[in-house]
């Protein structure tokens, strides 16, 4: 059952603001330098060491009491009260650290706690190879998932998607968080199940493609208010809307430099096959016209470079042949291009035939 509030989030997204220019850009750059000041790193380290000092409070707790406290933290994060969440953050991470040690055999270091705090604050965190980025992202993902909003962990390939989701599943399960993954080979029902979890591991290409496909499926009902009205008036027609995502809210991006910079320049194209009877018929007519034209008289072909040039006689012959045709054949450039494409195919086929013929 999807509530109206959740339905509003399914196809919603935030449009980025236009890049600042001139004096505004310079002021924004100065503000960025201030936000990146060394004192921020010192604050993160001080808070992480404070969390590290709480280890003795959680070490002797039995599993059922540790889980009970974690679920209490989950309720505090779900309510989303800023002051209450801030007070619970240190204790929540300390408890998560103990749970990770017990169920994964990995006890997060101070630097990993710093990374989780940075991600929780929305910072871009740089960690060296071997410092445990996967576990760091998992700790931050638990905090995000406790809010009951969708959380996606985006990585670079399907292997890492599956590996990380399976590896951290014991920790997520103990913390009352459902984890899933979405890979390229999954069917729409499997994708819907994966995205329905609290934390979903996937790649940037799969997430973007599924979001665009969902937008195409809703079509004119992209506005959630219109979908709600349609569901009230015709509930049967909206019973299976085919959407796989439950919305975009927070994302933790692994290898951010690769995904947000290197791969961002590659366009994503969503396509499907469908019949085009008009183009098929036009291609057949163009092939018939090409067969009636004489090489050297109506056209000149360069098979090596796959080039065909129509002569004046050839253009006149094509114009005479299309007098009784309709549609695109009335366009001079379009009809000549169709015949040229047919002539390229014909010239290539004749050349292959000559090469394949046995010597006499």
Tens digits of per-residue pLDDT, 208-219? Answer: 999 888 888 776
Q: Looking at residue 217, what is its pLDDT?
A: 78
Q: Looking at residue 108, what is its pLDDT?
A: 94
Copy the structure tokens of residue 295.
Answer: 């090489």
Higher pLDDT, 82 or 255: 255
- pLDDT band (50, 70, 90) for residue 236: low
Judged against a pLDDT cut of 70, whether residue 69 lies above it is answered with yes
The three state secondary structure string of the chain is CCCHHHHHHHCCCCCCCCCCCHHHHHHHHHHHHHHCCHHHHHHHHHHHHHHHCCHHHHHCCCHHHHHHHHHHHHHHHHHCCHHHHHHHHHHHHHHHHHHHHHHCCCCCCHHHHHHHHHHHCCCCCCCCCCCCHHHHHHHHHHHHHCCCCCEEEEECCHHHHHHHHHHHHHHHHHCCCCEEECCCCCCHHHHHHHHCCCEEEEEHHHHHHHHHHHHHHHHHHCCHHHHHHHHHHCCCCCCCCCCCCCCCCEEEECCHHHHHHHHHHCCCCCCCCCCCHHHHHHHHHHHHHHHHCCECCCEEEECCCCEEEECHHHHHHHHHHCCCCCHHHHCHHHHHHHHHHHHHHHHHHHHHHHHHCCCC
Give the chain's domains with CATH numbers.
Answer: 31-265 (3.40.50.300), 277-355 (3.90.1440.10)
Calculate the average pLDDT of the chain: 85
CB 48 within 8 A of CB 117: yes
- Per-residue pLDDT reduced to its tens digit, 312-350: 998 999 888 888 887 778 888 888 899 999 988 888 777
Judged against a pLDDT cut of 60, whether residue 197 lies above it is answered with yes
Q: Looking at residue 333, what is its pLDDT?
A: 87
- Residue 342: partners with Cβ closer than 8 Å, 6 or more residues away: 283, 286, 287, 289, 290
Copy the structure tokens of residue 74.
Answer: 């989950």
Q: Looking at residue 72, what is its pLDDT?
A: 92
- Residue 48: partners with Cβ closer than 8 Å, 6 or more residues away: 110, 111, 113, 114, 117
Judged against a pLDDT cut of 80, whether residue 81 lies above it is answered with no
Higher pLDDT, 100 or 40: 100
Judged against a pLDDT cut of 70, whether residue 293 lies above it is answered with yes
Judged against a pLDDT cut of 90, whether residue 302 lies above it is answered with no
Strand partners, 74: none
Q: Looking at residue 129, what is its pLDDT?
A: 81
Q: Looking at residue 335, what is its pLDDT?
A: 87
Question: Which range (15-24, 173-182, 269-278) has the least confidence?
Answer: 269-278
Using CA atoms, how far apart are residues 251 and 261, in angstroms rounded to an integer?
16
- Per-residue pLDDT reduced to its tens digit, 112-146: 999 999 999 988 888 888 889 999 999 999 999 99
Q: Mean pLDDT throughout 63-70?
A: 94
Q: Looking at residue 241, what is its pLDDT?
A: 63
pTM score: 0.71
Q: Looking at residue 1, what is its pLDDT?
A: 47
Judged against a pLDDT cut of 70, whether residue 67 lies above it is answered with yes
Distance of CA 187 to the CA centre of its chain: 16
CB 256 within 8 A of CB 124: yes
Q: At what angle do helices 38-52 and 82-103 cross, to 10 degrees?
A: 60
Q: Looking at residue 3, what is its pLDDT?
A: 56
- Per-residue pLDDT reduced to its tens digit, 90-113: 999 999 999 999 999 999 999 999
Q: CA nearest 293: which of 350, 356, 354, 234?
A: 350
- pLDDT band (50, 70, 90) for residue 187: very high
């Amino acid at each position: 059952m999807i509530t109206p509030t959740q339905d509003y989030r399914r196809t919603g997204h935030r449009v980025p603001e236009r890049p600042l220019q001139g004096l505004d850009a310079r002021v924004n750059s100065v503000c960025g330098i201030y936000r990146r000041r060394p004192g921020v790193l010192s604050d993160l380290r001080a808070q992480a060491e404070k969390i590290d000092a709480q280890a003795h409070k959680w070490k002797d707790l039995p599993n059922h009491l540790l889980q009970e406290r974690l679920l209490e933290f989950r309720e505090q994060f779900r309510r989303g009260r800023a002051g209450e969440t801030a007070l619970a953050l240190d204790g929540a991470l300390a408890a998560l650290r103990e749970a990770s040690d017990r169920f994964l055999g990995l006890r997060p270091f101070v630097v990993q706690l710093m990374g989780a705090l940075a991600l929780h604050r929305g910072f871009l965190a740089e960690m060296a190879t071997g410092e445990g980025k996967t576990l760091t992202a998992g700790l931050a993902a638990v905090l995000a998932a406790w809010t009951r909003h969708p959380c996606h962990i985006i990585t670079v390939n399907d292997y890492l998607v599956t590996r990380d989701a399976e590896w951290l599943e014991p920790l997520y399960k103990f913390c009352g968080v459902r984890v899933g993954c979405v890979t390229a080979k999954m069917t729409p029902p499997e994708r819907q199940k994966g995205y329905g979890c609290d934390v979903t591991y996937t790649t940037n290409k799969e997430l973007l493609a599924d979001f665009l496909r969902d937008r195409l499926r809703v079509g004119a009902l992209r506005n959630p208010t219109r979908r709600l009205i349609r569901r009230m008036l015709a509930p049967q027609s909206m019973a299976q809307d085919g959407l796989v995502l439950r919305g975009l809210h927070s994302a933790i991006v692994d290898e951010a430099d690769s995904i947000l910079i290197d791969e961002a320049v590659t366009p994503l194209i969503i396509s499907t096959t469908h019949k085009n009877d008009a183009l098929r018929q036009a291609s057949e007519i163009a092939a018939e016209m090409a067969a009636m034209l004489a090489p050297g008289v109506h056209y000149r072909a360069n098979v090596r470079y796959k080039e065909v040039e129509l002569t004046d006689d050839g253009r006149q012959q094509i114009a005479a042949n299309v007098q009784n045709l309709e549609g695109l054949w009335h366009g001079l450039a379009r009809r000549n291009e169709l015949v040229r494409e047919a002539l390229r195919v014909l010239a290539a086929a004749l050349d292959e035939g000559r090469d394949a013929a046995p010597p006499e």
